[in-house]
Amino acid sequence: RIINVFLMVTQFGFCCIYFVFVATNIMQIVFDYTNINISVYGYLTILLPFFIALTMVRNLRHLALASAVANTCQFVGLCIIFYNLFQNLPPTTSRPLSTSMSRLPLYFGTTIFAFEGIGVVLPIENEMKTPEDFGGCNGVLNTGMVIVACLYVAMGFFGYLKYGEEVAGSITLNLPAKPIYELVRVIFAVAVFLSYPLQFYVPLKFIWPFIKKKKKLDKTMSLNMQHLLEYLLRASFVLLTCRFKWTCLVVKNVFIATFGVFGFATGTYASVKAIITAFS
């Protein structure tokens, strides 16, 4: 159960990041061409119905087409990005070879997110017609992960070499405002959007059967009502991943307000006590 909880939290965290990635890239494109400055929260709200509609797909096999389109988009986008990175590269001596240990947690977080697809490994193996082809030295898993790892290393190395400390959280945000690079932002926004239900599939694979078993829905509800309840659950979790940034903002504001009230109370108490002491 602990492993399942951690896996679900991790996958929902990836879904939150996917949501923000799509919103920030679309925001950048719109601003570059129209100078319309809408906050990222506005774009999250606009995108919410589309994400909900996409997560209504319940079968992993039906998501294979969306995954294939997303992979094709990413391949085209990577080719264009590498073309940009290879232009006017500075010498490697212009960048420090290492950084402080204080940034090690950021590295771990980035690396874990980079291989977010690991959570979908077992569901994919379970859905394969020939699961024995999944493992092995040249199986689906090893072949896919070696290719992905090489692409990540290359992107990280040349991206940092090109942009240094100015490199953004997503390399697409460092690309100049030109039509070809705006197309890259669109491509990756579409690819990540289509990949969202794959990350969403894993936690729902645990949560929905648990609810059905706990509440004995198989015995108390018709099949249509069960499907309706599942769709409502899916929409609720999509809303949760969309609202996560707002939740963080509210928590931050509450913390600041509480700290301010605490400072006001203790400061006033100390001042009044000092005044009383002085006049006594």
Q: What is the pLDDT of residue 49?
A: 92
Q: How far apart, in Å, are the Cα atoms of 23 and each of 48, 57, 186, 239?
A: 10, 22, 11, 14
Rounded CA-CA distance 188/25 in Å is: 8
Residue 45 CB contacts under 8 Å (≥ 6 apart), including other chains: 242
Q: Is 254 exposed, middle or buried (0-12, 13-18, 19+ CB in 10 A)?
A: exposed
* 8 A C-beta contact, residue 77 and residue 187: yes
* 8 A C-beta contact, residue 194 and residue 70: yes
Closest by alpha carbon to 199, among 26, 25, 41, 60?
60
* 8 A C-beta contact, residue 48 and residue 246: no
* 8 A C-beta contact, residue 143 and residue 35: no
275 pLDDT band, cuts 50/70/90, is: confident
Say whether pLDDT at 160 is over 90: yes
Tokens for 34? 């129209």
Q: What is the pLDDT of residue 13?
A: 80
Interhelix angle 223-279/2-34, nearest 10 degrees: 80
The pLDDT tens digits of the residues spanning 130-148 come to 888 888 888 888 898 899 8
What number is the average pLDDT over the span 34-56? Answer: 88
Give the whole-number percent of the chain exceeding pLDDT 90: 18
DSSP for 197-238 reads HHHHHHHHHHHHHHHHHHHTHHHHS-HHHHHHHHHHHHHHHH
What rounded mean pLDDT belongs to the chain?
A: 83
80 pLDDT band, cuts 50/70/90, is: very high
Tokens for 22? 């799509």
Q: What is the pLDDT of residue 91?
A: 93
Q: What is the pLDDT of residue 256?
A: 65
* Cα-Cα end-to-end distance for the chain: 63
Rounded CA-CA distance 70/64 in Å is: 10
Say whether pLDDT at 58 is over 70: yes
What number is the average pLDDT over the span 204-225? Answer: 84
Q: What is the pLDDT of residue 271?
A: 67
Say whether pLDDT at 249 is over 60: no
